Amino acid sequence: MNRRPLLALPALLLAGHAAAEANDRLSVVASFSILGDMVGRIGGERIALRTIAGPDVDAHAFQPRPSDAVALRGARLVVRNGLGFDAWIDRLLRSAGGAGTVVTATDGIAPRSMEAHRHEHGPAARRQQSGAGPRLVPDPHAWQDLRHGQAYLRTIAAALITADPAGEETYRRNAETQLARLAALDSWVRAQIATVPEAQRKVVTSHDAFGYFAAAYGVTFLAPQGVSTEGEPSAAEVGRLIRQIREQRITAVFLENMANPATLRRLAAEAGVQVGGRLFADALSPPGGPAPDYEAMFRHNVGLLVPAMRGAA
């Protein structure tokens, strides 16, 4: 007697049950890994989440795949950062179609401004070089201030509740848990930074991703690149930064996980300082890495920054 069909039947039933459960969950797409972590922690088991630009993927210059368009087409909720960070998702949404709700996590946050010309190419860059005044753009890295991170959570929770009212209690409970954790983390970050004398709170990084962190926690960040990881600094900019490192005896020099390391390594060598490690700014690390979630990212970065600023790295 052939028992294989009978033995296979439970597995088929389980597979069908899992597929039905997946179909019952709210389908959500997040544009990049930091947002994906936030959405997943609030949505929990009630959502089926796909993150398009995953861990260690540069969302500034991301090139979507056909499977990403398929995911967007079937999503009931799409969560993006906004402020120009993930503009590629707007193009993908237009081409993919779909009737899902699009939520911008930075809505309601007053953005910082920063100069655009250091990462532009073509006519815009030539206008800047010809003497035109700097063009300002919104700084998209608002998650680098934990108070803004809490605003992201509130926006995400509200969007999930609207899309899935039956899950309101779950979403509110999960959001409150995460909000409390971020409030405690914000206090910890401030206490850690307070151990560094104010004159020593200066850091050199690969590109301008820490403006919100700087404003929130009283640290000055200097970078040879502009807001985009695609830009290349001029020789004059690098030279000025080398002189500043030497004159101000800056000891905290760091790479970022998304930036080209060549420029910063050359700058550190010429300035006579050591590169202190790798910060996570625009993307999380893979699971098992030092920054697999938003909270761990902050703890990792502050754990590197504080001893380096104190000259103890």
**What is the per-residue pLDDT for 124?**
40
> Among residues of the chain, what percentage have pLDDT more than 90?
55
**What is the per-residue pLDDT for 225?**
53
Q: Dump pLDDT digits (tens) for 238-271.
A: 677 777 777 777 776 776 655 556 666 776 777 6
CATH number of the domain that residue 134 is part of:
3.40.50.1980
Contacts of 249-253 with C-beta under 8 Å, sequence gap 24+, read 250/202, 250/203, 250/204, 250/222, 251/200, 251/276, 251/308, 251/309, 251/310, 251/311, 251/313, 252/202, 252/203, 252/204, 252/276, 252/305, 252/308, 252/309, 252/313, 253/203, 253/204, 253/308
Check pLDDT > 80 for residue 217.
yes
The answer on 177 and 72 residing in a single domain is yes
148 within domain boundaries: yes
8 within domain boundaries: no
Out of 165, 182, 199, a domain closes at 182
The answer on 207 and 70 residing in a single domain is no
Q: Using alpha carbons only, give the angle 238, 34, 289 rounded to the nearest 5 degrees.
A: 80
The answer on 124 and 48 residing in a single domain is yes
The answer on 197 and 112 residing in a single domain is no
The answer on 253 and 233 residing in a single domain is yes
**What is the per-residue pLDDT for 204?**
83
Q: Identify residue 12 by its one-letter amino acid code.
A: L
Mean per-residue pLDDT over the chain, rounded: 82
The answer on 252 and 171 residing in a single domain is no
β-sheet bridge partners, residue 279: 256
The number of distinct structural domains making up the chain is 2
> Among residues of the chain, what percentage have pLDDT more than 70?
75
Average pLDDT over residues 309-313: 73
The answer on 106 and 204 residing in a single domain is no
Check pLDDT > 50 for residue 122.
no
Q: Which phi-psi region, left, alpha or beta, contains residue 30 (left: φ > 0; alpha: ψ -120 to 50)?
A: beta
120 within domain boundaries: yes
Out of 149, 182, 215, a domain closes at 182
The answer on 261 and 112 residing in a single domain is no
> If pLDDT is split at 50, 70 and 90, which confidence band does 177 have?
very high
Q: What is the DSSP string of 76-132?
A: SEEEE--TTTTTHHHHHHHHH----EEEETTTT----EEE-GGG--THHHHHHHTTP
- What sign for the dihedral angle of Cα 138, 142, 148, 149? positive
**What is the per-residue pLDDT for 258?**
53
Q: Identify residue 222 by its one-letter amino acid code.
A: L
The answer on 178 and 58 residing in a single domain is yes
The answer on 175 and 34 residing in a single domain is yes
**What is the per-residue pLDDT for 266?**
73
Q: Dump pLDDT digits (tens) for 89-117.
A: 988 988 888 789 999 999 999 999 887 64
3 within domain boundaries: no
The answer on 272 and 225 residing in a single domain is yes
30 within domain boundaries: yes
240 within domain boundaries: yes
The answer on 174 and 122 residing in a single domain is yes
Check pLDDT > 70 for residue 228.
no
> Can you tell me the distance from the alpha carbon of 265 to that of 206, in angstroms, rounded to the nearest whole number?
9
Cβ 38 vs Cβ 56: under 8 Å: no
**What is the per-residue pLDDT for 250?**
76
Out of 136, 153, 182, a domain closes at 182
**What is the per-residue pLDDT for 231?**
53
Q: Dump pLDDT digits (tens) for 44-86.
A: 999 999 999 999 998 877 888 999 999 999 999 999 999 999 9
Residue for token pair 């380096």: 308
Structural domain boundaries, residue 42: 17-182
